[in-house]
Structure 1
Amino acid sequence: MSDELLEDEINRYLWLIVSPILLVIGSVGNVMSIAVMSRSNMRTSQASVYLIALSLADLVVLYTGLIRYFIKEVSGVDIRTLSAAGCRLHITMVYMSLDISVWILVAFTGERILSVFMPYKVKNICTRVTSLVMIATIVIIMLILNGHFLFGLAPVTITFGDNTTSRDVCTFASSEYEQFIVNVWPWIDFCVFNLVPFLLLSIGNTCIAVRVVISRRRAKKVGEPGANQRTLGINGLSAANSSLTREARATPETSRSLHMPAPTETVASNSQQPIITQRGIFHCAESLCVPPICGTKNVSVHGDVTANGANRLGRSEATSRASFKMTDQDPPIRTSARNDRTSSMTAILLLLNFVFLATTTPVSIYFIVQDSWHKRITTDKEYALHRLTFTVVNLIQYFNNSINFILYCITGSRFRKELQAMLFRRNRVFPLEEAARRRPRALEREITGLHTRMTVASDSNPDAQPQNPPSGNHLTVPRTKRSDTQL
């Protein structure tokens, strides 16, 4: 083997060794990504639509672009030259799938920007339907952009030397189209495939990173949200009521009664004092709220407030009802789950974008300079180096389409847990998150209905003690009909 052909040997072994490795990793990884993203716990997110489409586009890239070079090195057959339709369709699918893969990342980045900057509105703006429409729009635009290959290429037989050697190639159908492909198309492809996505992804990633850093700094200053809201159980409500009320007894309309322990004279020192507002309304402190509602619903109770902060129930009616003022904040479990999902998907996106920019820039630069480089080649060694460079930049590009599954596993904690659940057949990976996701409205209706139906009768003598005061923190809930618990 001569020194001039060393580059050709390296080039051949790269296609024979690296190509099948990337094909296996990419095939298994993208299929697993589709399977994981299609599970019920993951497909509720709009991001899963983009990631499934990205995996499908990567599979098309691998099985149209990369596999062609592998088959060509193994058997010497170029599938692009087998027929006129194959010549036109193959290169169109390669360019389309590469562009679709890139612009799905751009669309995904836009969705993440909205998710970070408008977390409470993104679900109304970005839905699964809008994601599907966006992907369909990308496919149509890329088909129009790369559709010229369907009309400008044709298989041609080239004869070498003394007319005894020939080879079929997929080349230009006219000289005008050749000038377009050589002089104009590389710049269009560079802008569509690399430059514009590079700018959009860089701006988007910067905005997301800055927003995440600011949010974390604010969280550190404020402290952990909901730290005083973690005491669960109905007993917490009874204890809070016992420190605020002096007496309570059952109303005659209900068959079950609401009993409370003997009150204390003042609110506990470690509890936040009630905030007195107009018309005798006070908002309960965080430590005195019902745990499932505290932090999500601001509860206000109509009543008279004494000078020392103790609450005496209003006696304008024989029966007074507790009224609750609702806000738009989410429950702590749901907020935590949403933050985890956002952080996980944001980390995946940032790493995907970084890898994309690092792996696609070399091949874009190569296609811009290849024509001028090719014109300056005068020796076989320079030709071999040119071919080796083409092989290296293409394998780097196909590397990007093969390792997304690995990137998901590295950065996505939810993806890893869901993958474990799928492989080991565990159905419930996130019990708290699942409970909050599947029954949040039912739980809120149940809790709200419970408290809106609680009635407390005031005695004509407020200083009298209940006839049979129960011991301990005991809460008996009024029995209501099923329809009464609906909002």
Structure 2
Amino acid sequence: MDRSLRISVNLWIVFILCIPSVTVNLLAIVILTRGKCGLSTCTTCYLVAMATADLLVIITEVLLTRVRYYYFPRSFLDITHVCRINTFLRRASTDCSVWFTVAFSFDRCVAICCLKLSRKYCTGKTAAVVLSTTGTLLCLKNIPFYFTQEPVEVINNVPWGCTIKPNYFTNPIWIGYDWFDVVLIPFLPFALILLLNALTVKHIIVASHVRKRLRGQTKGENQSDPEMESRKKSVILLISISGSFILLWLVYVINFFYYSITASNFMGYHSAMYIFSQVGYMLVNLSCCTNTFIYGVTQSMFREQVKKALKYPITSIFHFMNK
């Protein structure tokens, strides 16, 4: 009964996470790299990096870990060394997904609030340096996770399976590292995204009031202002990103605090807390298909490129049939 329940849960994960996430992120990468969305080189670099990191999370966390465990047991991916590498990759890709979002929020904050600095900072070259440096540091930070795993069993001198070493939960160094990992993901990104977006929204509101006065508008007038409409869209975009990130990570954070404070043990697959923890992991993975969607779909030219991409197979078939 437990196994059937777990298989059902993973089947939902496949449909809810894999199919839309892989499709959205692959489509976003292809469309953005073509450079026909009217976005700057800097913005395109961040969006492509975010989509790539999100795609890697879905592949390593959902496909190679959860789906593989239930549907393809005893494959070469169960060899301990391969399993350790996958643990490192899914940790690193999740961190990159989060911190690339922070880096992009900082870039947009600089572009809107610091016009002089934006001329030097908001460039494609700077974006490439920031993304490569951030990615490298996060990969180095996650190397210790490779050594937290030990084999479940040894068959014909080949270690199989991965399980967390017992001293990971008792050794003060590992406990400190675990808290450092949680502070880095997601507490610090929470704070930074909220701060950066608050500064950006405040600047947009103040600039909008100044612009109204300069245009001589009064409360009774309904003059259209394209610049103000663009700023309103920016505020909505920033609030959507912040709210989406915080809400989708909130269950994971609550679950971490609960187990850290109460030191609760695993109670079985039917336990309410186990289900709660799995929902938290699912929502964290779900966040990997929202950022690119929110950033990209709000751009009208991006939507046009998506429509063209979706229509292309049909138009190609009709064109081929008419020949």
Determine if contact 2:237/2:295 at 8 Å carries over to the other structure. Answer: yes
1:384 alignment counterpart: 271
Identity %: 19
Residues 172 and 424 of structure 1: CA distance in aligned 2, closer, same or farther (over 3 Å): closer
CA contact (8 A) 1:87 1:155 kept: no
CA distance in 2, matches of 1:405, 1:109: 13
2:240 to 351, 356, 371: 351
Contact 1:109/1:201, CA 8 A, preserved across alignment: yes
Distance in 2 (CA, whole Å) between partners of 1:342 and 1:415 is 18
Change (3 A) 1:376 1:155: closer
Moved more, 50-59 or 10-19: 10-19
The Cα of 1:350 is off from its aligned counterpart by 3.8
Q: In the TM superposition, what whole-angstrom CA distance separates every residue of 1:215-265 from its partner, at most 9, and x where no partner exists?
A: 22233333389xxxxxxxxxxxxxxxxxxxxxxxxxxxxxxxxxxxxxxxx
- Structure 2 residue aligned with 1:113: 109
Measure the CA separation in 2 of the matches of 1:77 and 1:393. Answer: 27
Alignment partner of 1:16 out of 8, 11, 17: 11
TM-score, structure 1 normalization: 0.54
Q: 1:65 to 1:388 in 2, by over 3 A?
A: same
Q: Read off the aligned partner of 1:183 and give its amino acid letter.
A: I
Task: Specify the structure having the higher radius of gyration (Cα).
Answer: 1
The aligned residue for residue 71 of structure 1 is 68
Q: How many residues align?
A: 300
Q: Aligned residue for 2:32?
A: 37
What is the CA–CA distance in structure 1 between the aligned matches of 2:277 and 2:148, rounded to whole Å?
Answer: 23
What residue number does 2:90 align with? 94
Shift of 1:405: 4.3
CA contact (8 A) 1:152 1:174 kept: no
Write out aligned runs for 1:207-222 (5 A).
207-222=199-214
Alpha-carbon shift at residue 115 of structure 1 (Å): 1.0
1:202 aligns with 2:194: yes
Q: Which has the higher helix share?
A: 2
Pair 372,211 (structure 1): closer, same or farther in 2 beyond 3 Å: closer
The CA distance in 2 between the partners of 1:174 and 1:389, in whole Å, is: 24
**CA offset at residue 126 of structure 1?**
1.9
Q: Which amino acid aligns with 1:203?
A: L
CA deviation map 1:87-126 (0-9, x unaligned): 2211111111111111111111111111111235413222
Decide whether the 8 Å contact of 1:356 with 1:400 is kept in 2: yes
Q: 1:172 to 1:12 in 2, by over 3 A?
A: closer
Q: Deviations over 1:262-296 (max 9, x none)?
A: xxxxxxxxxxxxxxxxxxxxxxxxxxxxxxxxxxx
Cα RMSD over matched residues? 3.4
Deviations 1:305-360 (A, max 9, x none): xxxxxxxxxxxxxxxxxxxxxxxxxxxxxxx7x98887766654442232111111
> What amino acid sits opposite 1:16 in the alignment?
L
Q: Structure 1 pair 216/387, CA: closer, same or farther in 2 (3 Å)? A: same
Paired residue secondary structure (1:108):
helix
Residues 29-63 of structure 1 show CA distances to partners (whole Å, capped at 9, x for unaligned) of 00111122223334534111111000000011000
Higher relative contact order (CA 8 A, sep 6+): 2
